[in-house]
Amino acid sequence: MMLSRLTFALLLGAGAVSAADTRDPLVAQGEYLAKVGDCAACHTAEGGQKYAGGLGFKTPFGVIYSTNISSDKSQGIGSYSYEDFYEVMHNGNAPKGRLYPAMPYTSYHLVTDEDIKALYAYFMQTRPAATVNRDNEVGFPFNVRTGLMAWNLVAHEDSAFQPDPAKSSNWNRGRYLVDGLGHCGECHTPRDLFMAMDGSHYLKGAMIEGVMAPEITATELRRQGWTHDSLTRLLRKGYSVKGGVFAGMYPVVEKSFAYLTDEDMHAVTSYLLGSDTPLPEPAPRPVTLDASHPGYGLYRDYCAGCHGQQGQGKPNVTPSMYANATLDQATATNTLAVLLRGIPAQSYSQTERFAPMPGYARELNDQQLADLVNFLRQTWAHQASTLSADDISTLKKEIVEAHDE
């Protein structure tokens, strides 16, 4: 169906503002869009004021700290003109210098002028924070920001969002949110030689801070049996019948996706799953615990106490192993990362939470880890997992190196 420019412009800025909101509608819309863009999660340090910056991000070139984006005129962005704000969002060029692409202007350039105006209106009236911006811990030559001019020429294209006329308005809205403000590709897409997103492997998964941001293409999500309902629950609540989020995805759900309107959430899941209509629930796969498997005893001793003898999980304690998406990923990276480091307690509401999971890096050797990982993936994900102790050793190095970057 061919979309008119007017129809699509209205769609992109469509109703996210509550009728009961008495503020300037542009400011209210900007606040919603700031949540979609996950601005608070990146620009708020632990225990710090909202939008005051100071959160560190490990990169292959050193630690980059998020900046103060409050309305403070000295340390924040309160003195920015609209043109300044637009240039930051589209090209990473700030009045005081160029920004590293840790600020995802490589995705935000897809944001429409109307939505950038709403974001600007919102940020200009946020609570000012006089917090001084932290110096990045980046060594030579990467601390010479004039080099970013050349990087932008090679790796960045300031192009507008182009809807696909062959797709529905709902699908196009989802693509706009995922690829633009949601900037999902920044974590879920591998990097090329220039450390830019590799467009030929978009959303195919990438290592980031010691875990795999998994592949989230429609092909892979549908292979794993995701539906609109299960994906909506994961993005809205942080967990579903297919497991829960952890590591860097947890604050993304808590501070961003949880606030999407029902319409926008449906658009996002439609785009990610490649379907506007409901997908069939996958048929349950039979599970047989092989007591002769070398990993069976390890599961019984280290996992069954919380996850259940049959892997059924416990409400408000642990997720189920059945159809668990982490176990069913193409690689065992995240299964191993969780076993090594564990997961802290995670709360989704006053009545919904998961207990902490300990890590077993010091308790299990490489052969034991291989046996346990293979047992988990073979039993509940039906993956032909045949990792050896050497494979585990190699994976551990990749996990540690990615975590230390």
Binding residues for heme c: 39, 42-43, 184, 187-188, 303, 306-307
- The number of angstroms, rounded, from the C-alpha of 272 to the middle of its chain's C-alpha atoms is 13
Exposure class string for 205-232: b at 16+ Cβ within 10 A, else e:
bbbbbbbbbbbbbeebbbebbbbbebbb
SS (H, E, C) 177-218: HHHHHCCCHHHHCCECCCCCECHHHCCCCEEECCEEECCCCH
Which strand (E) or helix (H) includes residue 141? Answer: none
Which of 46, 44, 52, 88 lies closest to 70, judged by CA? Answer: 52
Q: Is 223 helix (H, G, I), strand (E, B) or coil?
A: helix
Exposure class string for 59-97: b at 16+ Cβ within 10 A, else e:
bebbebbbbbbbbbeebbbbebeeebbbbbbbbbbbeee
With contact defined as beta carbons under 8 Å apart, do 402 and 210 qualify? yes
β-strand 97-98 against 93-94: which pairing, if any? antiparallel
With contact defined as beta carbons under 8 Å apart, do 68 and 75 qualify? yes
Measuring CA to CA, how many Å separate 225 from each of 44, 106, 244? 35, 31, 15
β-strand 211-213 against 346-347: which pairing, if any? unpaired
Its sign, for the CA torsion 303, 305, 306, 309, is positive
Binding site: residue ranges? 39, 42-43, 184, 187-188, 303, 306-307
Its sign, for the CA torsion 186, 190, 191, 192, is negative
Which of 15, 35, 45, 50 lies closest to 257, judged by CA? Answer: 35
Does residue 141 have a cis bond before it (omega within 30 degrees)? yes
